[in-house]
Amino acid sequence: MSKPKIAFIGLGIMGGPMAKNVLDAGYDVIGYNRSQEPIREHVEAGGDGATSAAQAPAWGDPAWGDVTITCLPGFSSRRNRDTPRGRHPRGRRFR
C-alpha cells in the first residue's frame, strides 16, 4: 500500500515544521501559504509548492490530496466569501 499524499495549507510557525516532519518521514507533501517565503523553504526541504490554496488538495489531478491539513492563524483566513463577516456558518458570532 502506498503512503497517502499530504497537502498542507498554511506553512507558518506551526504548519511549516509539521510539513517538514511529514516530508522527513518519507511522504509526498505539497504546501501553500499566502506569503511566498514559506513555500520556497518548503520546496528547498524537498516538498512541492502550490500556487493557490485550491491547488494544494488537488495537486494536479482530482485523485491527489489523500489528506489535507490546514494550519491557519484565525477564522478570517479560512472564511469563504459566502460567509458574512464575523459570523460562523452556523450563526455563532466570533469576537
- Please report, in angstroms and rounded to a whole number, the separation of the first and last CA atoms in the chain: 45
Instruction: Give yes or no for a contact between 19 and 11, defined as CB atoms under 8 angstroms apart.
Output: yes
CATH number for the domain formed by residue range(s) 6-73: 3.40.50.720
Those residues whose C-beta lies under 8 Å from the C-beta of residue 68, and which sit 6 or more positions away, are 6, 7, 8, 9, 56, 57
Question: How is residue 52 written as a grid cell?
Answer: 493557490
Each residue of 1-37: pLDDT tens digit?
678 889 999 999 999 999 999 999 999 999 999 999 9
Helix (H, G, I), strand (E, B) or coil at 82: coil
Instruction: Give yes or no for a contact between 16 and 42, defined as CB atoms under 8 angstroms apart.
Output: yes
Instruction: Give yes or no for a contact between 19 and 46, defined as CB atoms under 8 angstroms apart.
Output: no
Instruction: Domain ranges for the chain, please list them.
Output: 6-73
Q: Is pTM, for the whole model, over 0.75?
A: no
Q: Which amino acid type is present at position 71?
A: C
Each residue of 34-92: pLDDT tens digit?
999 999 999 999 999 999 888 887 764 555 557 888 898 865 555 544 444 444 444 44
